[in-house]
Amino acid sequence: CDGDLAVVDRALPPTAGAFVIALVDGDFTLKELRYQGKRPILIPHNADFEPLRPTGELEVFGVVRGIVRKFEGNLASSLQYT
């Protein structure tokens, strides 16, 4: 989501199934890394986007370790305790 922060570990090797920050055609993107044979595919988890199948060089910037979400408004009033 807009305004979220990704916590990225550049020391981790990217593996299939990991969420990565990748540089594709000069743009950074956050996607799940998968492989079709030896060919990498970047899978979005948003139905509005198609998978990316890089034809040139793919640079994986780092592996996502977490997401920090920014909440708008009064978070305390929206919480429900049981």
What tens digit of pLDDT does each residue of 19-69 get?
999 999 888 999 999 999 999 999 999 999 999 999 888 899 999 999 998
58 or 70, greater pLDDT? 58
Global pTM value:
0.80
Task: Check if the beta carbon of residue 32 is closer than 8 Å to that of residue 18.
Answer: yes
CA–CA dist 20, 35 (Å, integer): 13
Q: Tell me what pLDDT residue 3 has.
A: 80
Q: Tell me what pLDDT residue 81 has.
A: 67
